[in-house]
Amino acid sequence: MLRSLFIQNYALIEKLDINFGTGFSVITGETGAGKSIILGAIGLLLGQRADVKSIRRGAPKCVIEARFDIAAYNMQSFFEDNELEYEPECILRRELYASGKSRAFINDTPASLAQVKELGEQLIDVHSQHQNLLLNQEGFQLNVLDILAHNDKELDEYRSLYAEWKRLERSLAELIVRSDQNKADEDFVRFQLQQLEEANLNEEEQETLEQEAETLTHAEEIKAGLYKVEQLFAGEEVGILSAMKDGLAALLAIQKVYLPAGELAKRMESSYIELKDIVQEVSLQNEKIEFNPVRLDEVNDRLNLIYSLQQKHRVQTVKELLMLMEEYRAKLDDITSFDEQIAELTAQRDTIYNKVKKQAVALTKKRAIAAREVEQQMATRLVPLGMPNIRFQVEMGMKKEPGTMGEDTVSFLFSANKNGTLQNISSVASGGEIARVMLSVKAMIAGAVKLPTIVFDEIDTGVSGEIADRMADIMQEMGQRDRQVISITHLPQIAARGIAHYKVYKQDNDTETNSHIRHLTNEERVEEIAHMLSGATLTEAALNNAKALLKS
């Protein structure tokens, strides 16, 4: 529960440092004294968005720090999950700089606003007047049932199943769209693949065909060149081979008398053999080369087919065409397998959907039991609050399909009159009635939720007299059993019930206005409550009345 609150340079507060105790405490003060400022500072601690305009004029930053005693609330798991050090005394701090930068700390360790908000929701519940509007919201009404039904485990399981069902729904929708798109392309893909397959391409053939085309195109020129070489080396009149043969014979004839001639003869013989082999190869190639217009047309036709496919598919090689052909095959396989994938995913979705429905039914059963409990408790709590003929009913319905919180719709129906028609509470309840209903709801769920601190901001608006006494009873009761309740009030009947009484006030000087808060002594409480009863002028009757209220 909240042990202390420190505020520095926030709005009209230069410096505030106040301690709080257990049980039921009250905060009073004139309108505009700064009570809402204190609540705003607490809101920042609980993760609300920061505004640099909140920094006191001229100050470089504002600091808000609160200390909570959490020893009795089994909150170690939060600190373990967020890798934070656990201490029985938890310190939340928020720093807001004039530059716009904001920092948050948990036990002096930097923390994200999400972490601060999650922790804050477990530490303190601030109920302001605008929260009475929550009664109009189905989500709040449903949450009331879940709190009383202790549905945490069932809701976590439901949400997990629901998230998986929605994920499968999205995946299935995407798959169907892809299937429709691909099936629309199927004829095109099949035609392209068929064209490539009919071409019967070979990765190496383009280079071979291009060489053959060159040879066939220049066949006469090639044959003439080969023939000329053959004649130069093996011709009967001026053949080089014949001359080399004669030269070899001459060297062999003199080798006995001239030793170097033997070595020269060996070299010439080797050259003769090589040249003779070359001439034979030239002759063989010459015989192979022929001018074949038919074959040239065939080769050119084949090359033109390859070139046209490359140009069509914007690639440079046959290898790329073959890779593209495999891609088309894979795409056709995907298209034909879409029906199987859709059927499989549909089965998975339907299985999870059935589990969602089953879990939703389990939630509905527990909520229906909780709804009857709400009706009974609300009637019991509201009768003493000046509603003797109260009728309160929880109407449950079913959605067309499961939602994030299940299949149930919930509406709180209300009538303060014996013969009145039950209608939605927001339609028929007055401001004072809504305040009493909301207080009763808070008191009811406070028993089911182990929340350390509850702050009521003028929840007593629109009530007075005996009803205010009854509301004070409820808040006093809520402040028992290791719970702390703080009420900001304008009603003396409620202010008198607090174990501790704090007053917020403003002081002006020549240059600035400051808001302060202080813990009132018994004598100061008498005067403060007397002022609340009679206004600015204290009367003996008001003082006596204040003493009587405090004594009671």
Tens digit of each residue's pLDDT (9 = 90 or more) over 511-532? 888 888 999 999 999 999 999 8
User: Is the distance from CB of 239 to CB of 232 less than 8 angstroms?
Assistant: yes
- CB contact burial 192-226 (16+ within 10 A = b; e otherwise): bbeebeebebeeeebeebeebbeebeebeebbeeb
How many residues would you count in the chain? 552
Query: Residue 426's pLDDT is what?
Result: 73
pLDDT at 449 over 80: no
Do 331 and 185 belong together in one domain? yes
Instruction: Report residue 342's pLDDT band, with 50, 70 and 90 as the boundaries.
Output: very high
Q: Which of 15-29, 164-178, 223-237 has the lowest mean pLDDT?
A: 223-237
pLDDT at 133 over 70: no
- How large is the average pLDDT for residues 469-491? 85
pTM for the whole thing? 0.66
Query: Residue 409's pLDDT is what?
Result: 93
Query: Residue 25's pLDDT is what?
Result: 93
Do 120 and 199 belong together in one domain? no
pLDDT at 138 over 80: no
Do 321 and 458 belong together in one domain? no
Do 56 and 200 belong together in one domain? no
Nearest to 62 by CA among 100, 35, 33: 100
C-alpha distances in Å from residue 313, one per residue of 187, 196, 317, 478: 17, 10, 10, 79
How many whole angstroms separate alpha carbon 156 and alpha carbon 153? 5
Do 284 and 222 belong together in one domain? yes
What tens digit of pLDDT does each residue of 54-78 get? 898 889 999 999 999 988 888 898 8
How many whole angstroms separate alpha carbon 429 and alpha carbon 89? 42
Query: Residue 167's pLDDT is what?
Result: 96
Query: Residue 161's pLDDT is what?
Result: 96
Domain range for 312 is 181-335
Query: Residue 131's pLDDT is what?
Result: 61
pLDDT at 238 over 70: no
- Name beta bridge partners: 414: 392, 423
pLDDT at 135 over 80: no
Query: Residue 132's pLDDT is what?
Result: 59
Do 198 and 328 belong together in one domain? yes
Query: Residue 134's pLDDT is what?
Result: 65
User: Of 273, 307, 335, at which residue does a domain stop?
Assistant: 335
Query: Residue 425's pLDDT is what?
Result: 81
User: Long-range pairs for 472-479 at CB < 8 Å and ≥24 separation?
Assistant: 472/496, 472/497, 473/384, 473/497, 474/381, 474/385, 474/439, 474/440, 474/443, 475/24, 475/439, 475/443, 476/24, 477/443, 478/24, 478/442, 478/443, 478/446, 478/454, 479/22, 479/23, 479/24, 479/25
CATH number at residue 94: 3.40.50.300
* Domain annotation covers residue 216: yes
* Tally of domains within the chain: 2
Nearest to 409 by CA among 418, 424, 398, 421: 398
Instruction: Report residue 237's pLDDT band, with 50, 70 and 90 as the boundaries.
Output: low
188 or 158, which is more confident? 158
Share of the chain above pLDDT 90, in %: 38
Query: Residue 358's pLDDT is what?
Result: 96
Q: Which of 2-11, 396-405, 503-512 has the lowest mean pLDDT?
A: 503-512
Do 56 and 197 belong together in one domain? no
* Domain annotation covers residue 148: no
Do 235 and 329 belong together in one domain? yes
How many whole angstroms separate alpha carbon 289 and alpha carbon 542? 132
| Residue 96 backbone dihedrals phi, psi, to 5 degrees | -125, 125
- Answer positive or negative: Cα dihedral of 194, 200, 203, 206: negative
291 or 196, which is more confident? 196
User: Of 301, 335, 369, at which residue does a domain stop?
Assistant: 335
- Beta-carbon contacts of residue 91 (< 8 Å; ≥ 6 apart): 65, 66, 67, 68, 105, 106, 107, 108
* Domain annotation covers residue 13: yes
| Residue that has been written with the tokens 């202080």 in this structure | 518
Do 78 and 220 belong together in one domain? no
* Domain annotation covers residue 531: no
Q: State the number of CA atoms in the 13 A half-sphere of 482 facing the CB.
A: 12
Do 117 and 193 belong together in one domain? no
Q: Which helix (H) or strand (E) holds 416?
A: none
pLDDT, averaged across the chain:
88
What tens digit of pLDDT does each residue of 185-196 get? 778 888 898 999
How many whole angstroms separate alpha carbon 483 and alpha carbon 487? 13
What tens digit of pLDDT does each residue of 85-119 get? 899 999 999 999 998 899 999 999 999 999 999 89
Q: State the number of CA atoms in the 13 A half-sphere of 526 facing the CB.
A: 11
User: Of 303, 335, 367, at which residue does a domain stop?
Assistant: 335
User: Is the distance from CB of 10 to CB of 62 less than 8 angstroms?
Assistant: yes
Do 194 and 82 belong together in one domain? no
State both tokens at 118.
């999650």
